[in-house]
C-alpha cells in the first residue's frame, strides 16, 4: 500500500515520494505498474477521442492504439531510461543505480493518467499534450533526485530519452496505422478526416 500512498502524495505535489521510491528496493515492480496504468489511461483517452471523432473501426483502434500503443509506449519508456542511464553514467564520476532511476521515473509517469480526459470535447488535444509535457517535467525531477546528477546532465539525458520515445511514437501513428497512444493519434485523426473530405469532394464533383 506504500505505492498507493505515494501516488496520493504525488498528486498533492509532494515530491519527496520520488526520493522514497528511489531508495525503496521493494518499490520497483509497483512503480513500473504505475507506469503501465498511466500509459494505459493515456491510450484509453486517445481511443475515446477517436470514437468522438466518428471515424469508425472502434474495435480495431482500441486494440492497436490503446493496447499495442501502451505496450510500445512502455517498451520505449524503458529504452528512454536506458538512454538516460547510459548518458548519466558517462557524465558523472559515479554511475547511478538504474533500479533507483526506474523506480523514481515510474512514479513520474503519473501525469500521463490525465490523458484519459482527452475524451472531453474541445480540449482533447491540449489535454494530451499537457499530460506528456507534465510527464517529461516530472521525469526531469525524478532523474535529478534519484541520481543526484547536475541539472544540466540530467536534462540532457532526459531530453535524449524523450526524443527517442517521441520520435518512434510519431512513426507508429498514421492514417493507415494507429499504434501510438493519446495525442499521437492526432496525426491519424487528421489524415483520416482529410482523406474522407477528399473522397467526399470527388464524389460531389
The pLDDT tens digits for 142-184 are: 999 999 999 999 999 999 999 999 999 988 876 667 778 888 8
Distance CA 90, CA 153 (A): 10
Per-residue pLDDT 10s for the chain (205 aa) are 788 999 999 999 999 999 999 999 999 999 999 999 999 999 999 889 888 877 677 788 888 888 998 999 999 999 999 999 999 999 887 788 999 999 999 999 999 999 999 989 889 889 999 999 999 999 999 999 999 999 999 999 999 999 999 999 988 876 667 778 888 877 666 666 555 555 566 666 5
Structure confidence at residue 204 (pLDDT): 61
The CA radius of gyration of the chain, in Å to the nearest whole number, is 18
Structure confidence at residue 184 (pLDDT): 82
**Biggest CA pair distance of the chain:** 68
Residues comprising the chain, all counted: 205
Smallest Cα–Cα separation from 90: which of 157, 160, 22?
A: 157
The sign of the torsion formed by the CA atoms of 118, 123, 129, 132 equals negative
Q: Return the half-sphere exposure (C-beta side, CA atoms, 13 A cut-off) of residue 122.
A: 0
Smallest Cα–Cα separation from 115: which of 7, 42, 23?
A: 42
Which 3 state secondary structure label does DSSP give 117?
helix
Distance CA 179, CA 169 (A): 8
Q: Are 153 and 92 in contact (CB under 8 A)?
A: yes
Domain ranges of the chain: 2-204
What angle, 0 to 180 degrees and rounded to 10, lies between the N-to-C axes of helices 2-11 and 28-52? 50
Question: In this structure, how many other beta carbons lie within 10 angstroms of the beta carbon of residue 199?
Answer: 10
Smallest Cα–Cα separation from 71: which of 172, 188, 159?
A: 172
pTM for the whole thing? 0.88
Amino acid at each position: 500500500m506504500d505505492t498507493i500512498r505515494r501516488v496520493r502524495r504525488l498528486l498533492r505535489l509532494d515530491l519527496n515520494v520520488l526520493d522514497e521510491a528511489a531508495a525503496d528496493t521493494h518499490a520497483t515492480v509497483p512503480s513500473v505498474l504505475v507506469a503501465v496504468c498511466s500509459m494505459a489511461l493515456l491510450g484509453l483517452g486517445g481511443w475515446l477521442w477517436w470514437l468522438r471523432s466518428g471515424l469508425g473501426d472502434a474495435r480495431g483502434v482500441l486494440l492497436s492504439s490503446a493496447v499495442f500503443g501502451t505496450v510500445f509506449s512502455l517498451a520505449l519508456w524503458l529504452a528512454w531510461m536506458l538512454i538516460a542511464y547510459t548518458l548519466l553514467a558517462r557524465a558523472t564520476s559515479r554511475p547511478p543505480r538504474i533500479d533507483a532511476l526506474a523506480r523514481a521515473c515510474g512514479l513520474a509517469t503519473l501525469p500521463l493518467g490525465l490523458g484519459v480526459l482527452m475524451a472531453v470535447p474541445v480540449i482533447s488535444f491540449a489535454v494530451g499534450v499537457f499530460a506528456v509535457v507534465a510527464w517529461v517535467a516530472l521525469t526531469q525531477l525524478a532523474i535529478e533526485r534519484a541520481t543526484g546528477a547536475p541539472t544540466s546532465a540530467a536534462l540532457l539525458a532526459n531530453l535524449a530519452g524523450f526524443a527517442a520515445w517521441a520520435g518512434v511514437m510519431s512513426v507508429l501513428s498514421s492514417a493507415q496505422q494507429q499504434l501510438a497512444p493519446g495525442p499521437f493519434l492526432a496525426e491519424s485523426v487528421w489524415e483520416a478526416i482529410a482523406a474522407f473530405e477528399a473522397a467526399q469532394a470527388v464524389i460531389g464533383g
